[in-house]
Amino acid sequence: MKEPTLGNPQNTIEVLQKYNFSFQKKFGQNFLIDTHVLDKIIQSANITEDDMVLEIGPGIGTMTQYLAQAAGKVIAVEIDKNLIPILEDTLSGYDNVRVINEDVLKLDLKKIADEENNGKPVKVVANLPYYITTPIIMGLFENEVPVESITVMVQKEVADRMQTGPGNKDYGALSLAVQYYADPYIVANVPPNCFMPRPKVGSAVIRLTCHQEKPVQVQDEKLMFNIIRASFNQRRKTLANGLKNAATLDFTKEEVEAAIDALGKGASVRGETLTLEEFARLSDLLSPYKKG
Ligand code: SAM
């Protein structure tokens, strides 16, 4: 298998000039130009020849070359049609890569993983387009795509939100959602000068190792996440007020107050202090009162 040729500024500029490529801001295009960061991502994703990797947004194929070298198979989904001829060129030495020219949010990734990897869990590795980080990650979880781990470059602030717990200012619905499905670990912080063009924000590589078994048992997952979202929608309000006023929930004041009391919390408790276990219990306490 060919050694990667991309990953440094000179070769990236050469490819971009050869194809007269112009970056499209709307697609969150910030290409990696640092081989150390690329090595770190590949190493922390723990890829072997037995793995099928799903890459979201291959760009000009920089990380794809590294992935193709380490994995058995790579499926790379790229929305920008102008990148397709470039990818054909930069990936010509690799026979284990399939490029799909599509919007990843419109693809049935479960079907692709099932067909291409016989339903075996895949590893997702990507330098994500930041404008759709949350829908991509939540889509993988909620659509039950068979995934073993997700190792991705995201905005630093988003990585912090995914990893943090109760009592921290970054704690919120995203922290709880990610931690319900996976165990997050921040692998590295990555400064803007590792990309072309430089993003305005700091970045971080985070690895989410998917749970084999959920860390909490809850009767109604959908209700739990509605409760979580309602609790954080109105951060400055008490949990009771957040839940009573939520448009997506229809519990009475008495039902909400009784459930919070049964949880062993005072009337003034705020949602941001509750753990995942406590949200699961609260959801189970309220579930019998769900209308409709
Ligand atoms: N992997 C490359 C690298 O590291 O140099 C490029 C990463 S760049 C941050 C994000 C990539 O995602 C771009 O190539 C962009 O065109 C692509 N992209 C943006 N939105 C997408 C979508 N909805 N579906 C698939 N790819 C998308």
| Ligand 1 atom 23 nearest Cα | 103
Residue 1 placed within a domain: no
Please check whether residue 111 lies inside any domain of the structure: yes
Give CA separation, 216 vs 191, 250, 288, in Å.
36, 24, 19
Print the domain residue range for 97.
9-210
Residues 257/241, Cβ–Cβ less than 8 Å: no
CA-to-CA distance for 215 and 238, rounded, in angstroms? 26
Mean pLDDT by 10 residues, the chain (292 residues): 85 96 95 97 96 98 97 98 97 96 96 91 97 94 94 97 93 95 97 96 98 95 94 86 89 94 93 95 95 74
Q: What is the pLDDT of residue 187?
A: 97
Q: How many domains does the chain fold into?
A: 2
Kind and range of the H or E element at 149? strand 147-155
Of all atoms in ligand 1, which is nearest to the CA of residue 12?
A: 5
Contact 260, 282 (CB under 8 A): yes
Q: Which two tokens stand for residue 158?
A: 């988003």
pLDDT at 286: 96
Residue that finishes a domain, picked among 184, 210, 236: 210
Last residue of a domain, one of 168, 186, 210: 210
> Would you say residue 50 lies in a domain?
yes
What is the rounded distance in angstroms from the CA atom of residue 1 to the CA atom of residue 116? 21
Residue 198 lies in a domain: yes
Please identify, by atom number, the ligand 1 atom nearest to the C-alpha of residue 55: 1
Nearest of 199, 228, 70 to residue 128 by alpha carbon: 199
The binding-site residues of ligand 1, defined as CB within 6 angstroms of any ligand atom, are 27-32, 56-59, 62-63, 77-80, 83, 103-105, 127, 129, 132
Return the best residue to mutate from 31, 36, 40, 133 for the ligand 1 pocket (most ligand atoms within 8 A of CB): 31
Q: What is the CATH number of the domain that holds 41?
A: 3.40.50.150
Tokens of 13: 């500029």
* Residues 246 and 136 grouped into a single domain: no
CB 259 within 8 A of CB 227: no
- Tell whether 4 is covered by a domain: no
Please report whether residue 28 resides in a domain: yes
Is 281 within the bounds of a domain? yes
Cross-strand bridge partners of residue 195: 32
Domain membership of residue 215 (yes or no) is no
- Report yes or no on whether pTM surpasses 0.85: yes
